[in-house]
Amino acid sequence: MSSQKLIYHCCSNSISQNGGGVKTYIKNLFSYKTADMSDNVINSLENIDQSQFKLLHLHGGGRDFKLLEEVRRECPVVYTLHNHDPYCPSGTKYLSNNQVCCSRNMSYLPCIWGHLIDGCGSRRPGQMITNIRHSYQQIRNLKLLKIPVLATSNYMSQQIIKNGLSTEQITVLPLGISVPRNAFKPLTWDVHQNQKILYVGRIVPYKGLDWLLKALAQTEFPIHLDIAGEGWARPQMEKLANNLGIAKRITWHGWCSTEKLDVLYQQCFALIFPSVWSEPAGLVTLEAYARHRPVIASAVGGIPEYVADRKTGILVPANNIKKLASAIIELAQNYQKARRMSEEANIWFMKEFTIGIHIQRLQKIYEQYIT
């Protein structure tokens, strides 16, 4: 540890090793690291003198909540709410059997019902009770410690307030990402005429790839779908594509490097973000905007706060196949509209969502609590 008091970011070992979006976010923070921020990430606060820190920034994610248990308030602490775990035992806010987002507040009986009947989480009694207890413990610790909570969307802010945290304890801080190293230009006529759309994400049911495939079937050749991602539901989705007669209009790329993704973004006229679960925010929308591409997305969770409808993209009701197909066709047939959205998307990104702007806002929040 340095003799100078520094700001340290803290997250569980599981996030450090397999943290997905949270891990990427912290990596982006380090890319614009300020002089008072440590290069090291703390995975445990147990038996550590916390008075030596200038500030601890905890990142919630996954099922490991020990960091909150270990906070002793010997220095300023802030907590970023990256997912639904403190107020949703399943972590999804999605009732898979009903294919709808969950609107219930956290409570034992409704959450047990959700796990057993609505398919929102594990039906194993031990795991189900553990999930519920973990969520209650997290929100209880946030209340008792009065830790300032940073929510990545107004949607998340509203959810955690509905479940017991005070409004004064919450600050909404939208996400930010790094500006791509490679220069990207607004959508061109030639690229638009390739008639390619892009899906980036895991291939699991709640990411909504199934209804995107059904929507694609309601569009005509030559609209082609590139899929960048992998997941356990891929065989089912490939079978669905075959049954729909659209297999030849899809390319399955698997997990892609940043360089490969850049190429796929350059080749498409729009990113499709068809999630059906309550996405906390919409990081992939920012990746598209940074590369001058509009987004067609589901109006669920925090996504509508990251897609300006009819300006930077088009919002459609989740699972509405007809409207998703219509949105794809609309941009496929109107180059000028797609290009205008691509330009607006990048302007909005550069103004509101770069990691540099995010860190400026984050520093102002830190200053409120550092004495």
Residue 302 near residue 281 (C-beta atoms within 8 A): yes
- Per-residue pLDDT of 107-144, as tens digits, reads 999 999 999 999 998 899 899 999 899 999 999 999 99
- What are 343's two structure tokens? 């330009």
Q: Choose the weakest-confidence range: 9-23, 93-107, 144-158, 189-203.
A: 9-23
How far apart CA 237 and CA 232 sit, in angstroms, is 10
User: Does the predicted model carry a pTM greater than 0.85?
Assistant: yes
Judged against a pLDDT cut of 80, whether residue 358 lies above it is answered with yes
- Per-residue pLDDT of 256-265, as tens digits, reads 999 999 999 9
Judged against a pLDDT cut of 60, whether residue 85 lies above it is answered with yes
| Average predicted confidence (pLDDT) for the chain | 93
- Per-residue pLDDT of 55-81, as tens digits, reads 999 998 655 678 889 999 899 999 999
The arithmetic mean of pLDDT across residues 319-340, rounded, is 98
Look up the CATH superfamily of 189-352.
Answer: Glycogen Phosphorylase B; (3.40.50.2000)
Instruction: Look at residue 250 and give its three-state secondary structure.
Output: strand
DSSP alpha helices (H): ranges in the chain?
13-18, 21-31, 66-70, 108-113, 125-145, 154-162, 189-193, 209-216, 234-244, 258-267, 283-290, 321-333, 335-352, 355-369
Judged against a pLDDT cut of 70, whether residue 320 lies above it is answered with yes
**Closest to 169 in 3D by CA, of 179, 160, 180:** 160
One-letter identity of residue 140: R
How far apart CA 193 and CA 271 sit, in angstroms, is 15
The arithmetic mean of pLDDT across residues 135-158, rounded, is 94
Residue 163 DSSP symbol? T
The arithmetic mean of pLDDT across residues 40-68, rounded, is 87
Cis ω on the peptide bond leading into residue 280 (within 30° of 0)?
no
% of the chain surpassing 90 pLDDT: 82
pLDDT at 26: 87
- Name the pairing type of β-strands 270-273 and 250-254: unpaired
Name the CATH topology of 7-177+354-369. Answer: Rossmann fold (3.40.50)
Judged against a pLDDT cut of 60, whether residue 2 lies above it is answered with no
- Per-residue pLDDT of 238-281, as tens digits, reads 999 999 999 999 999 999 999 999 999 999 999 999 999 999 99
Choice between 125 and 237, residue whose per-residue pLDDT is larger: 237
Q: Report residue 1's pLDDT band, with 50, 70 and 90 as the boundaries.
A: very low
Instruction: For CA atoms 187, 190, 191, 192, give the dihedral sign.
Output: positive
Same fold, 7-177+354-369 and 189-352: yes
Q: How far is CA 212 from the centre of its chain?
A: 19
Q: Scan for tokens 């996504």, then name that residue.
A: 303
DSSP result, 329-359: HHHHH-HHHHHHHHHHHHHHHHHHTBHHHHH
269 contacts: CB under 8 Å, gap ≥ 6 = 187, 191, 192, 194, 195, 196, 197, 293, 294, 331, 332, 338
Q: Report residue 13's pLDDT band, with 50, 70 and 90 as the boundaries.
A: confident
pLDDT at 64: 61
How far apart CA 27 and CA 5 sit, in angstroms, is 21
pLDDT at 62: 58
Choice between 202 and 26, residue whose per-residue pLDDT is larger: 202
DSSP result, 257-317: -HHHHHHHHHH-SEEEE---S--SS-HHHHHHHHTT--EEEE--TTGGGT--BTTTEEEE-
Domains of the chain, residue spans: 7-177+354-369, 189-352
φ/ψ (deg, to 5) at 228: -110, 105
Q: Choose the weakest-confidence range: 31-40, 44-53, 163-172, 271-280.
A: 31-40
